[in-house]
Chains A and B, each alone.
Chain A
């Protein structure tokens, strides 16, 4: 067996905080001073002596990662948001350069990160196939040869000579995916695209990925959906804070990921190095999911209310702060968004929050969630002014539906909510 990908001591350092300095204006005076000094700053920047460089923070998005992957294997990559999964894929597909280390890649890397890149709304489906194919590195002869196949796969043959701006989003996506799927690279990189599109289309995508794997191509598959990882990969690596902490058969890796501290078991703590400097004066501390009895849990019952608790600290007072939750399914569909000052009375009362230690709690009533795993994201912002902190995937919890409406049938129900509706049955004839 030959090695398809060989990664050695790979590291990627990012600068952060450079852009944020721009938004640190507190007073008109600052704005004026900044404007007046702008030409000097520009001159300094041009000769490479930017004063911003001083207060830039550096983070290692990827640090000392090494692994080899044999040709024809399917490797799953799991990890929290910010663990370095996307950075790794970006380096492998040569979008960005590593800071340290080397990668040897045998063959063309095609990535499903780039579905629809280069699509122009004014061009027809046919024209976009050629355009997109060329961007993905296909030769014209290659696109000619696969054209019919691509059109068939996309199911938009009827509209192939219509500008894609007239397409529905589903048609657009199908066409885009069809081109990417027919690139036939030696190495395919898939990042969460399965989260988009309808169920039938997703099935098709997974099928295509399976085909690709069976043809002896190498596949790297990144997902937050553990069941997809288990179904499609034999082996997986776990990334945590940019480091590779485990490589094992998928079942073992997924178990480890779900059970280790970072698996987001009902509780999420932020350590100092996980909070970007730009979030100041807001510092997140923890996010917890509690069951009715107050215990922090990973699995809640659909029929019972759940408490979500977000603890944070303010180093100085903030006007108009709102702290909120996003709840979404593992496929990335939002279920709802809610902020702690949604209530007008609370909004008045907490117009300005002084420095201090806070907790914002929300009780989610029972009979909301359907069976499955849900992700909770947090956000702290002043509307229209600034976003202090955001973690779209801070923690996840499972919902158990025993006792929920309709469970007497044992069939899976579609949709993320499972409300207890007040049904009335009347005989009217």
Chain B
């Protein structure tokens, strides 16, 4: 039997007042739990399904086909010279990640209420791991995109590709920021569960997934970029396909809003955290 020695740490428990500190030290101590939660979510997600991991492919591909039919064949939307399936799929990648992260993250506290009411651990881990778990589906869908680009002989914008992880990060930060707000509110008001499908739907319309951002007139550009996902989707198309004009003021507006949501979400979450176990 191996004994693992650790010097007992002294913990002071007292009512917290005012703005709670972020307590990143605890989060670091529990970093393995984040890994395990992500691993569990991924492992369990497609258990007892016939198609298994294929769902990670089927969902975006089917959406892409429907979009292609509606917006390319019927509505004939402009795509800046890119075959519509590739054009749509490039946007569906970050959008799919965002939707899953937003929905799972926002429900994470309530979904794990037995953990919240029984055990101490930094509660931030729940929305965080839900958001990270979406990355696996993203990676699978990415492979499909590469295949699609081959098939349609679209050459990637090699010189811009390195910016892709930055746009991915922007999508994650945005999703996590919103999930922090909504998951904390959901603990007290389950209205969030009802509102999420609407929110997701409206957000999709406000994001250039099915259409090109170039259809937005110049004077609305800034207002449009208040939606950080617009920045993400434009960025993805720019980095992968070379469409659009690249980062300009609108991207920085998106980044600013995203950081604002994230940081405020972080503090709101932390300030509500102490009552989670009592009100959930």
- A residues near B, CB below 8 A? 14-15, 42, 45, 90-109, 111, 113-114, 117-118, 120, 122-123, 127, 130-131, 134-137, 139-142, 145-146, 149, 163, 186
State whether B118 touches A113 (Cβ < 8 A): yes
State whether A117 touches B32 (Cβ < 8 A): no
Q: Please, which residues of chain B bring their CB within 8 A of the CB of A130?
A: 36
State whether A97 touches B274 (Cβ < 8 A): yes
State whether A134 touches B33 (Cβ < 8 A): yes
B10 contacts chain A at the CB level, 8 A cutoff: yes
B30 contacts chain A at the CB level, 8 A cutoff: yes
Q: Please, which residues of chain A bring their CB within 8 A of the CB of B114?
A: 117
Q: Please, which residues of chain A bring their CB within 8 A of the CB of B8?
A: 106-108, 186
State whether A120 touches B13 (Cβ < 8 A): no
Query: In the complex, which of the residues A92, A113, A120, A139 contacts B40, with contact meaning CB atoms closer than 8 Å?
Result: A120
State whether A105 touches B13 (Cβ < 8 A): yes
B168 shortest CB reach to chain A, Å: 26
Is chain A's interface secondary structure helix, strand, loop, or mixed overall? mixed
CA distance A113 to B189 in the complex (A): 27
Chain B interface residue count, Cβ-Cβ cutoff 8 angstroms: 39
State whether A105 touches B15 (Cβ < 8 A): no
Q: Please, which residues of chain B bring their CB within 8 A of the CB of A106?
A: 8, 10
State whether B278 touches A14 (Cβ < 8 A): yes
State whether A137 touches B118 (Cβ < 8 A): no
With A42-B191, A104-B11, A117-B119 as known contacts, state yes or no: A127 contacts B33, CB within 8 Å: no
B44 and chain A: residue at smallest CB distance: A122
Q: Please, which residues of chain A bring their CB within 8 A of the CB of B189?
A: 42, 45
State whether B30 touches A131 (Cβ < 8 A): no
Q: Please, which residues of chain A bring their CB within 8 A of the CB of B6?
A: 108
B48 contacts chain A at the CB level, 8 A cutoff: yes
B1 contacts chain A at the CB level, 8 A cutoff: yes
Q: Can you list 6 A-B contacts with CB-CB less than 8 angstroms, sorted by A residue number?
A: A93-B120, A97-B15, A107-B8, A122-B43, A134-B33, A142-B4
State whether B40 touches A95 (Cβ < 8 A): no
1/0 per residue B106-145: CB within 8 Å of A?
A: 0000001011111111000000000000000000000000
State whether A122 touches B14 (Cβ < 8 A): no
B30 and chain A: residue at smallest CB distance: A137
Known: A94-B11, A102-B12, A105-B11. 7 other contacts (CB 8 A): A45-B189, A97-B275, A103-B12, A104-B10, A108-B9, A131-B40, A146-B2
State whether B16 touches A105 (Cβ < 8 A): no
CA distance A93 to B30 in the complex (A): 16
B73 contacts chain A at the CB level, 8 A cutoff: no
State whether B10 touches A95 (Cβ < 8 A): no
A279 shortest CB reach to chain B, Å: 20
B104 shortest CB reach to chain A, Å: 15
A163 and chain B: residue at smallest CB distance: B47
List residues of B (69-124) whose CB comes within 8 Å of A's CBs: 112, 114-121
CA distance A21 to B48 in the complex (A): 41
Q: Please, which residues of chain B bring their CB within 8 A of the CB of A104?
A: 10-13
State whether A98 touches B13 (Cβ < 8 A): yes
Q: Please, which residues of chain A bring their CB within 8 A of the CB of B118?
A: 95, 111, 113-114, 117
Q: Please, which residues of chain B bring their CB within 8 A of the CB of A99?
A: 15
State whether A122 touches B33 (Cβ < 8 A): no
CA distance A131 to B41 in the complex (A): 11
State whether A136 touches B4 (Cβ < 8 A): no
Identify which of B10, B35, B275, B278 gathers the most chain A CB atoms within 10 Å of its CB. B278
Q: Please, which residues of chain A bring their CB within 8 A of the CB of B2?
A: 145-146
CA distance A107 to B47 in the complex (A): 38
State whether A140 touches B15 (Cβ < 8 A): no
State whether B14 touches A98 (Cβ < 8 A): yes
Q: Please, which residues of chain A bring their CB within 8 A of the CB of B44?
A: 120, 122-123
1/0 per residue B9-32: CB within 8 Å of A?
A: 111111110000000000000101
